DNA sequence: TCGCATAATACTGTATCCATAATTATGAAT
DNA sequence: ATTCATAATTATGGATACAGTATTATGCGA
């Protein structure tokens, strides 16, 4: 086994990941122009790997490549959210169903541990911490579902959703409500009630959509 | 409006599409090495747009990029098919549900027309024609569902499925069976029975998976 | 002062070139 | 003869250079 066996990821993948982070953090805002030259200089690389990274992000839907006009961070319309959330509900619901059936006692323990963290973050009112652990919990379920393509689909959609601001959790009462929903989902999994887990997860996603809509409405008014 | 407003697609997209066709036609077989230089020469272009095209295909899952080792056409394992078909069943089932609710009488007429073609191809035993129209029918339902993200997901998965040989339709009786399933789906849509349409579409996909498994078993033995 | 045309500028898209890493072939040693 | 090491070849990854087009600015005319 050669010491090089851990092949370092290609540069364009590195760049893609960095750009993703900048998009998710809204340092690069939806609609913003992505300046190839400037970014290449910032990263101290040539335009070639940068452009390859942009192609990847484009097929993920995070940026939009307009021929001869450059690259722009994708802007999601309300319509897109109305399309994506039901889809996520469907997929994550299925995940919850499968995970419930396949979880070993050890898996369940891990889920309980994650949920405990969630409880603590909620108690402190730490929305950022809650957001992170919440994502970890959902990803754990995806792992348990054992369907890598399902997981991939959900991951892709989640990336797109991260284009929107994520502070709907800071809405009055939303954090508590989300926590409550998680409690019920976990309970259903614990009791091996796959159908309920699916339905609850489904509702959880729609609840998330509603919170986002509410926040959006508030910002408009 | 300038005469150039119909921007010609970038070269890398053209190349990506051509490569897709060569992969789907199995001229480029699963596992085969994709020779950048040779392809660039064939198309009379430089390696740059070709490489960008490969990045796109990689994120679609059609090819696998091994760092410093080149690009290979993706090979699907049975396991992948077992993951993907249930997912397709879920998504296409949902499509059928939504489409049933949203189809106008004119839409229904178009579906009937497509189905008629299907009947004719089946009568002639024309598996290729059947395959094409079958795809058109499914795509029509996706359009009717009105959820562009759902459509996108299904399209992406379908591309991946096209990595496998598609002649399971040539299995003894499969063409007739598939047609029969389509008849029932269309009937459910016609009767505005969304739940049935969803269930029948779901079953239709699983039936397709079974046919593929059968063919695979036959080829092994 | 406003609109249009033309020119300048700047960015995208493509090609070419160079360096590095991987694979293969060749040779030597056991 | 087989295995290991080393060298040569080849392909990938990245940088740079060039061409073409879109946008913007500037100037002229109405």
- The answer to whether A10 CB is within 7 Å of strand D is yes
Residue A32 CA, distance from chain mean position: 21
pLDDT band at B218 (very low <50, low <70, confident <90, very high): confident
Q: Give per-residue pLDDT as tens, B86-141.
A: 999 999 999 999 999 999 999 999 999 999 999 999 999 999 999 999 999 999 99
Query: Sorting pLDDT into bands at 50, 70 and 90, what band is A216?
Result: confident
Residue found by looking up tokens 């994520």 in the block: A166
pLDDT band at B221 (very low <50, low <70, confident <90, very high): low
Question: Terminus-to-terminus CA distance in chain B, angstroms?
Answer: 62
Q: Which of the 8 DSSP states describes residue A164?
A: S
pLDDT at A1: 34
- The nt closest to A68 (CA vs C1′) is C12
- Contact, A182 vs A204, CB < 8 A? yes
Tokens of B168: 């399971």
Quick one: pLDDT at residue B3?
A: 32
- Dihedral (C-alpha) A99, A104, A105, A109: value to the nearest 10 degrees? -50
Contacts of B43 (CB under 8 A, 6+ apart): B15, B18, B50
Torsion sign, CA atoms B167, B172, B174, B175 = positive
pLDDT of residue B7: 61
**A172-188 tens-digit pLDDT:** 999 999 999 999 999 99
Rounded to an integer, what distance in angstroms lies between the CA atom of residue B175 and that of residue B179? 6
A156-173 confidence digits (pLDDT tens): 999 999 999 878 999 999
pLDDT tens, residue by residue, B11-60: 999 999 999 999 999 999 999 999 999 999 999 999 999 999 999 999 99
Closest CA to the C1' of C20: that residue is: B68
What is the rounded CA–CA span in Å between residue A16 and residue A28? 13
Average pLDDT over residues A65-79: 95
Give the per-residue SS3 of chain B. Answer: CCCCCCCCCCHHHHHHHHHHHHHHCCCCCCCCEECHHHHHHHHCCCHHHHHHHHHHHHHHCCEEEECCCEEEECCCCHHHHHHHHHHHHHHHHHHHHHHHHHCCHHHHHHHHHHHHHHHHHHHHCCHHHHHHHHHHHHHHHHHHHCCHHHHHHHHHHHHHHCCCCCHHHHCCCHHHHHHHHHHHHHHHHHCCCHHHHHHHHHHHHHHHHHHHHHHHHHHHC
**What's the confidence (pLDDT) of residue B166?**
78
**Would you say A40 and A46 are in contact if contact means Cβ atoms under 8 Å apart?**
yes
Q: Which two tokens stand for residue B61?
A: 């899952």
Any strand D atom closer than 7 Å to B6 CB:
no
Nucleotide with C1' nearest the A67 CA: C12
> What average pLDDT is seen over chain B?
94
* Confidence band, pLDDT 50/70/90 cuts, at residue A217: confident
CA–CA distance, B208 with B86 (Å, rounded to integer):
11
Separation of CA A65 and C1' D28 in angstroms? 37
Place of tokens 């063409």: B175
Residues 34-63 of A with CB under 7 A from strand D: 44-49, 52
* Overall size of chain A counted in residues: 221
Asked if the model's pLDDT at residue A8 lies above 80, the reply is no
Q: What's the pLDDT tens digit per position in A9-40?
A: 789 999 999 999 999 999 999 999 999 999 99
Q: What number is the average pLDDT over the span B210-217?
A: 93
pLDDT tier, A120 (very low <50, low <70, confident <90, very high otherwise): very high
A220 CB and strand C closer than 7 A: no
With beta carbons under 8 A apart, name residues in chain A contacting B80: 148-149
Handedness of CA A150, A152, A157, A159 (dihedral sign): positive
> Structure pTM?
0.94
Band of pLDDT at residue A121, cut at 50, 70 and 90:
very high
- Closest Cα of chain B to A99: distance in Å? 14
Query: Residue B71: what pLDDT?
Result: 97
If residue A101 lies in a helix (H) or strand (E), which one and from where to where? Answer: helix A78-102
Q: Which pLDDT band holds residue A54 (cuts at 50, 70, 90)?
A: very high
Residue A24 pLDDT? 96
The whole-number pLDDT of residue A5 equals 38
């Amino acid at each position: 086994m050669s010491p090089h066996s851990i092949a370092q990821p290609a540069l364009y993948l590195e760049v893609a990941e960095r750009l993703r982070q900048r998009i998710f953090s809204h340092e690069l805002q939806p609609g913003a122009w992505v300046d190839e030259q400037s970014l290449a200089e910032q990263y101290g690389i040539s335009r070639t790997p940068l452009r390859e990274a942009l192609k990847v992000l484009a097929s993920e839907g995070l940026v939009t490549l307009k021929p001869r006009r450059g690259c722009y961070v994708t802007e999601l319309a309300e319509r897109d959210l109305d399309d994506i959330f039901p889809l996520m509900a469907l997929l994550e619901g299925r995940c919850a169903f499968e995970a419930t059936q396949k979880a070993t006692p050890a898996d369940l323990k891990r889920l309980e541990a994650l949920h405990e963290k969630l409880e603590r973050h909620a108690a402190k009112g730490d929305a950022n911490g809650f957001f992170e652990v919440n994502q970890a919990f959902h990803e754990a379920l995806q792992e348990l579902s054992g369907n890598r393509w399902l997981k991939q689909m959900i991951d892709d959609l989640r990336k797109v959703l991260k284009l929107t601001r994520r502070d709907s959790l800071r809405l009055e009462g939303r954090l508590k409500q989300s926590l409550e929903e998680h409690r019920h989902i976990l309970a259903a999994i614990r009791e091996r009630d796959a159908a309920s887990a699916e339905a609850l997860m489904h509702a959880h996603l729609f609840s998330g959509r509603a919170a986002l809509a509410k926040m959006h409405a508030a910002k408009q008014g």
